[in-house]
Amino acid sequence: MKRDGGKAKMSPADDAGVDELLAALGYKVRSSDMADVAQKLEHLEMAMVSGGAPDDNSVLTHLASETIHYNPSDLSSWLETMLSELNAPPLPPKDPPSSSSPPPPALLPDPPSAADPAARDKKRPRRPAAPEPPSQVVLLDSQESGIRLVHSLMACAEAVQQDNLKAAESLVKQIGVLTMSQAGAMRKVATFFAEALARRVYRVPFESAFYENVLEMHFYESCPYLKFAHFTANQAILEAAAGETSLHVFDFSMKQGQQWPALMQALALRPGGPPAFRLTAVGPAEDNAGWRLARLADTMRVEFNYRAVPDLAPARRDDDRAAVAVNAVLELHKLLAKPGAVEAALESVRALRPKIVTIVEQEANHNGPVFAERFNEALHYYSSMFDSLEGAAEAGETQVMTEVYLGRQICNVVACEGADRTERHETAAQWRARMGAAGFEPVPIGSNAFKQASMLLAVFAGGDGYRVEEKDGCLMLGWQTRPLITTSAWRLAGGAAS
């Protein structure tokens, strides 16, 4: 077996009889040798637990102190070498396991590195150093199994991309075992990715949930991402409507309408009194959302009018004197599932001659043509998202429902294709190109919004771990060093709004 660019390659002769599960992870082990390999692994563990030869611990000391990343393509020969160095007595013969049952994945060494073949040949598997000989040696701890889990997830994605469903199915089973060794965010996110891969491998259909809005409400309550989205978009709309006597907002993301009470309150406190406020919900919206907002507007003495339309085609400006704003929070990426749908929607937005367009999207590229790359991007993105949730909410129904909300996104990104894959997130740079092609130019979101957004995070869970960043006129909210959500504002190029 040869290795090129970090990936295992076999000649047709070598490939015959090689176990597909281990081959996908970078090891050449023939199915007929599985029993021998399993016995040698058991023998090695016993030898290391006993400390090798009674009068010579030099090998164990060497193994414990060296930083070693050697992993052979010929696993059986390597094990033989290790046993001879430990001077271990032979194990009594035992009945071989079934060739269909691989050795426990937790006992497998780390995948080989092809970066330096010469160094690889000089090195052996690393064992953690200890101040004194341990009473028991575990060959793979939770951190190592976490690395193994990530490698297995990526290997499964590669197998899916290559349409090697037999290897993918075997890896899905191994992922389930490795997931159980993890805790916290890692275990949760890996479970959802394992489910998504299983759905794809076994072709289990992914269906929309009728309670999607309920899940989103829990997401809104448990973490600051939607609050940040609504606040920053409202701030851009409020600044664009300064001095206007009438404001008409077309909202692609109405649903329960939780974005708009804060804007109405800000309008009501405006010096000189609030403008007339008209709200048009474009697409899905709760039946009583407009009624609740109307009651709230009445208490604030804001002139309010509401209507709902299925899409922008029948939407129109009812009052040419009104300043028009178009708002889309985590919605436009769904149109990418249908060729030309985003371009058509933006053309309809242009026809409204808006003064401001506010867009909030996930800061990720989950719409690339290569499945393995898309999978890798999603794995890193949602790992950060789940990590941020660990300290953002108390364990309970809200956090569980939030995890389900994100888990359904993962399933859609990984398990679905074609028109069914609607979670097609793109980065701010990609949306900038789309908006420019549609005839829009960016409106920088001011420093005032940046300061207030930072204060919002300080109130929410102390803001620990969350970061607000301004980049190219956009505001990004991220966890640690990774941006996760971006707010941008746009106007018609050349000042064509009226």
Q: What is the pLDDT of residues 12-69, one digit of tens each?
A: 445 556 655 555 545 555 656 655 655 555 555 455 444 444 444 444 444 333 333 3
Residue 25: inside a domain:
yes
Specify the amino acid at residue 411: C
Q: Look at residue 279 and tell me whether its pLDDT is greater than 80.
A: yes
Q: How many CB atoms lie within 10 A of CB 472?
A: 12
* 45 found inside a domain: yes
What pLDDT, on the 0 to 100 scale, is given for residue 412?
Answer: 96
Q: Which of 81, 106, 140 delimits the end of a domain? A: 140
Question: Are 291 and 437 in the same domain?
Answer: yes
233 & 117 share domain: no
Give pLDDT tens digits for 427-461: 999 999 999 999 999 999 988 889 888 888 887 76
Q: 156 lies in a domain?
A: no
Q: Is residue 472 part of a domain?
A: yes
| Structure confidence at residue 446 (pLDDT) | 81
Mean pLDDT of 77-88: 56
Residues with Cβ < 8 Å from 374, sequence gap 6 or more?
A: 365, 366, 367, 368, 413
Whole-angstrom Cα distance, residue 483 to residue 492? 27
Same domain, 313 and 449: yes
Are 315 and 456 in the same domain? yes
Q: How far apart are CA 401 and CA 382, in angstroms?
A: 15
Q: Which residues does residue 251 pair with via DSSP β-bridges, in sequence order?
A: 281, 327
Q: Who wins on pLDDT, 4 or 484?
A: 484
The per-residue b/e assignment along 195-206, b for 16 or more CB within 10 angstroms, e otherwise, is: bbbbbbbeeeeb
To the nearest whole number, what is the mean pLDDT of the chain? Answer: 79
**Which range marks the domain in which residue 125 is found?**
1-140
Residue 307 CA to residue 293 CA, distance in Å, equals 11
Domain boundary among 140, 166, 191: 140
Q: Is residue 123 part of a domain?
A: yes
157-170, pLDDT tens digit by residue?
A: 999 999 999 999 99
Percent of the chain with pLDDT over 90: 56
The residues that bridge with 457 in the sheet, in sequence order, are none
Q: Give pLDDT tens digits for 167-208.
A: 999 999 999 889 988 888 999 999 999 999 999 999 998 887
> For residue 199, is it within any domain?
no
- Angle (nearest 5°) at CA 172 between 149 and 404: 80
> Are residues 118 and 230 both part of a single domain?
no
48/109 Cα distance (integer angstroms): 15
The pairing of strands 356-362 and 474-479 is unpaired
Report if residue 153 sits inside a domain: no
Residue 470 in this model has a pLDDT that exceeds 80: yes
Q: Are residues 135 and 224 in the same domain?
A: no
Beta partners for residue 488, in sequence order: 359
How many distinct structural domains can be found in the chain?
A: 2
* pLDDT score for 7: 40
Do residues 329 and 451 share a domain? yes
The pLDDT assigned to 406 comes to 97
Instruction: Average the pLDDT over each of 70-84, 106-120, 130-144, 337-351 and give the range with the smallest value.
Output: 106-120
In a shared domain, residues 131 and 226: no
Q: Which CATH number belongs to the domain containing residue 307 in this structure?
A: 3.40.50.150
Planar angle of CA 455, 456, 460, nearest 5 degrees: 115
Q: Is residue 200 part of a domain?
A: no
Contact 442, 490 (CB under 8 A): yes
464 and 327 fall within a common domain: yes
135 and 235 in a single domain? The answer is: no
Residue type at 331 in one-letter notation: E
Q: How far is CA 18 from the centre of its chain?
A: 33
Which of 93, 112, 140 represents a domain boundary (last residue)? 140
261's tokens = 């009470």
- Rounded Cα distance, 349 and 153, in Å: 41
| CA-based radius of gyration for the chain | 29
Based on the fold, state whether residues 257 and 357 are members of the same structural domain: yes
- Look at the chain and count its residues: 498
Contacts of 387 (CB under 8 A, 6+ apart): 185, 479, 480
Average pLDDT over residues 286-294: 93
Amino acid (one-letter) located at 161: Q
Please name which of 224, 215, 213 lies closest in space to residue 281, comparing C-alpha atoms: 213
Beta bridge partners of 357: 326, 490
pLDDT for residue 4: 41
The Cα 332–Cα 315 span in angstroms is 17
3-state secondary structure the chain: CEEECCEEECCHHHHCCECHHHHHCCCECEHHHHHHHHHHHHHHHHHHHHCCCCCCCHHHHHHHHCCCECCCCEHHHHHHHHHHHHCCCCCCCCCCCCCCCCCCHHHCCCCCCCCCHHHHHHCCECCCCCCCCCCCCCCCCHHHHHHHHHHHHHHHHHHHHCCCHHHHHHHHHHHHHHHCCCCHHHHHHHHHHHHHHHHHHHCCCCCCCCCHHHHHHHHHHHCCHHHHHHHHHHHHHHHHCCCCCEEEEEECCCECCCCHHHHHHHHHCCCCCCCEEEEEEECCECCCHHHHHHHHHHHHCCCEEEEEECCCCCCCCCCCCCEEEEEEECCHHHHHHCCCHHHHHHHHHHHCCCCEEEEEEECCCCCCCCHHHHHHHHHHHHHHHHHHHHCCCCCCHHHHHHHHHHHHHHHHHHHCCHHHCCCCCCCHHHHHHHHHHCCEEECCCCHHHHHHHHHHHHHCHHHCCEEEEEECCEEEEEECCEEEEEEEEEEECCCCCC
What whole-number percentage of the chain has pLDDT above 70? 68
CA distance 271 to 288: 31
From CA 8, how far away is CA 68, in angstroms rounded?
20
Looking at the fold, whether 313 and 444 belong to one and the same domain comes out as yes
